[in-house]
Structure 1
Amino acid sequence: MQHHINYVEFAAHDLAATEQFFSRTFGWLFEHYGPDYIAFSNSGLEGGFYRAELSASVASGSVLVVIYSNQLEQTLELVQQAGGSISKDIFSFPGGRRFHFIEPSGNELAVWSDC
């Protein structure tokens, strides 16, 4: 028997802006499944965004998806240039450093680095 996480889904009120943000910032690839769903790949873990007026944040008890980067400061700049907002600036924790950001549909994610 095998059990592992292999797919994650997010709500998104602006699928086009969300797709553009993740494509530009992280190089994710997208496939459209009708007007209300886009799937992403090339991210380390595949998933999708479905059209909804909800969003995920740590403050509301949501799971925090964390992306790895070996160039944390440059990734923070890319996030901002692509229209994301920084919700927690770079901080240290045992094992590395990270920051949190909000993508155009309001979902909070983080980026971490061990260097």
Structure 2
Amino acid sequence: MIGSLAALLLFQLAGEVCVRLTGLPLPGPVLGMILLSTALLIRGHTPVAFSNTSRGLLNYLALLFVPAGVGIITHLARVADEWIAIAITLVVSTALTMVVTAFTLRALMPRKDA
């Protein structure tokens, strides 16, 4: 598990370094994830150690929402002041995500002839 976590952190570091060197308008961890995905595609399969580590991390994914919840409670007065903008942003971003997902799914799904 330590080796897998080290590899994940190295890919994140590689993404950060690439972003800082090139000035890409992309978060470093996102670029690191793209690099990791590319490496796994080139390899052809996911190592068992990566699979086990990722399942272990997914089991505790809900814990990552605790800091966000604490932040909302801490800044509740500001949220109350700006609730209309927050609500509009949530609705529009959710709708946009659903539309993009639908078009992506439609483009990637094999077509069935009737």
| TM-score tier (shorter) | under 0.3
Choose 1 or 2 for highest CA Rg: 2
Which structure has the highest strand share of the two? 1
Which structure has the highest helix share of the two? 2
TM-score of the pair, normalised by structure 2: 0.22
